[in-house]
Amino acid sequence: MAALAVSRILHAGYVFACDGTRIAFDTIFENPFSRNCHAFPDVRFDAARIRQQRFDAVFISHFHDDHCSLESLDLLDRATPLYIYCLFDELFDMVRQLGFTRVHALRLDEAVDIGPFQVVPREPMDADVDSMFQIRAAGLNVLNVVDSWIDDAALARLVAEKPWDLVLWPFQTMREIEVLAPSRAAPAPPALPEDALVQLQALAPRYVVPSSCQFALEPWSWYNRAFFPISYAQFAQEVEAALPQARVVRMNPSASMRLDAGGLHPAPPLDWVIPAGDQDVDYVYEGNADAPSTSAIARHFPALTAAQWTRVLDYCRTGLPETYAGLDDAGEYFDTPRVWQLSVYDHAGDVTRFRYRLEPGGATHGGDDGGPLGWTTDIPAAKLYAALALGESLTSMYMRINDAVFDAGTERDLADADVVDDPLIRCLFSDSFGAYQRAQLRRLLALTD
């Protein structure tokens, strides 16, 4: 009987094998990855064995660093064909600088045939960022949703591709925005979004794997109780109740399954993904989990060197105002002049504060007498430096926004403000495509000099 082997690497990473052909998706071989995403359950990677692996193709769904990491790609043979969905030419240039010679841009709905496999990138809700994958082999039909949200139009196209034997579904609704302003965010209910169940019912797969989110933050991090509302147990309970004909199968890192017309069967695990410790773990959610102060969080990070601290101070004094002045859009809330306070906490928890008067098209330093505060941002100095020099992403920066009580008029205005209009977020991440990968490339190329 024709069969397809499916193995879990980590997060959204998988290996598919059929008739001697092996392809992989979103290959992350790091723990932690994205700087502070720790494998959950815990694993380690055998780099020597990974270097010996040969894949007939590797597919990357999008450019986010938890799916496309140059340090992970560095372990692969440079002749490996890479198929990447990304609208930015810079990423392809970086991958080629790393030495890969067969780098291809994926196009939505254009099939790629690799031996017995046909892989088709499918359009999600936000096609400017990511893609989904439809994988056909051995007469079987698999949907790898990766991180994507699915709108009604995309769902209708996927329903037309039924029947689905297996769906890899991104089961977590991460609260990466809510934890930035915990004093102003309502705790999310620990339940799947209703549209997720409706969409799975429409797809009607035989098997569902809770996919994509398979990490925790640092062991001390309060995010571990506030970031992930859905447990594996909750996912299985809700999905199996909504889809009684389907079976939910949890695949931990290294786990492998053989899928055929008769069912899903255990298979030998990946020997280069090595489980570490208890694998029978689950997420525990406690709403906003008594968020500690930024001062307390900053004490978990090492001291900056004198040169690194100087870079942070120079940015706050000159770089940030210059960048803010060049922003095309600072957000509707800042169409009105506001006083913004930026608080930077060092490794001892001590704070250095900066005040700016923000107006459309400009930011100037202002003292305590510049008027009432209209916005506050707190951040550990180590994380601000990492964003400037190492490509740190917003999810791992422990930024805290508007954790204060403002005057009545400001509070009314803030009710309609968007957290991600924060001036520091705008200045660090507007027009900064590929900062994480660029920092990785610099490190990797320096090793070869």
Tell me what the mean pLDDT of segment 24-44 comes to: 95
Homologous superfamily of 3-275 in CATH?
A: Ribonuclease Z/Hydroxyacylglutathione hydrolase-like (3.60.15.10)
Question: How far apart are alpha carbons 38 and 44 in whole angstroms?
Answer: 10
CATH architecture assigned to 294-448: 2-Layer Sandwich (3.30)
For residue 369, is pLDDT > 70? no
Q: Do 208 and 242 touch, CB atoms closer than 8 A?
A: no
Cis amide linkage into residue 41, ω under 30° from 0: yes
What is the structure's pLDDT at 367? 65
Spatial CA neighbour of 131 closest among 109, 148, 150, 155:
148
Q: Do 21 and 115 touch, CB atoms closer than 8 A?
A: yes
What is the structure's pLDDT at 287? 86
Per-residue pLDDT reduced to its tens digit, 214-264: 999 999 999 999 999 999 999 999 999 999 999 999 999 999 999 999 999
What is the structure's pLDDT at 431? 67
Cite the DSSP H helix spans in 229-325.
Answer: 232-242, 294-298, 306-314, 320-325
CB-facing half-sphere around the CA of 185: CA atoms within 13 A: 24
Question: How far apart are alpha carbons 334 and 413 in whole angstroms?
Answer: 10
What is the structure's pLDDT at 363? 92
Distances (CA, A) of 83 to 57, 133, 271: 7, 12, 25
Per-residue pLDDT reduced to its tens digit, 262-281: 999 999 999 999 999 999 99
Range of lowest pLDDT (12-16, 141-145, 313-317, 414-418):
414-418
Tell me what the mean pLDDT of segment 19-32 comes to: 97
Does residue 113 or residue 329 have the better pLDDT?
113
Per-residue pLDDT reduced to its tens digit, 375-385: 999 999 999 99
Cite the DSSP H helix spans in 204-347.
Answer: 232-242, 294-298, 306-314, 320-325
Backbone angles phi, psi at 265, to 5 degrees: -130, 145
Tell me what the mean pLDDT of segment 414-427 comes to: 94
What is the structure's pLDDT at 164? 98
- Burial-class residue 50 by CB neighbours within 10 Å (0-12, 13-18, 19+): middle
Q: Kind of pairing, strands 57-60 and 21-25?
A: parallel
For the chain, state the CA radius of gyration. Answer: 23
Sequence spans of domains, the chain: 3-275, 294-448
Give SS3 for 376. Answer: strand
For residue 53, is pLDDT > 70? yes
Q: How confident is the model at residue 368 (pLDDT cuts 50, 70, 90)?
A: low
For residue 194, is pLDDT > 80? yes
What is the structure's pLDDT at 254? 97
| 3-275 and 294-448 in the same fold | no
The whole-chain average pLDDT of the chain stands at: 94
What is the structure's pLDDT at 246? 97
For residue 421, is pLDDT > 70? yes
What is the structure's pLDDT at 73? 98
Q: Kind of pairing, strands 57-60 and 82-84?
A: parallel
Tell me what the mean pLDDT of segment 174-187 comes to: 91
Range of lowest pLDDT (51-65, 75-89, 366-380):
366-380
Q: Do 337 and 358 touch, CB atoms closer than 8 A?
A: yes
Phi-psi region for residue 369, left (φ > 0), alpha (ψ -120 to 50) or beta?
alpha
What is the structure's pLDDT at 331? 78
Which residues of 313-448 form beta strands (DSSP E)?
338-345, 351-359, 362-365, 373-380, 400-401
What is the structure's pLDDT at 145? 98
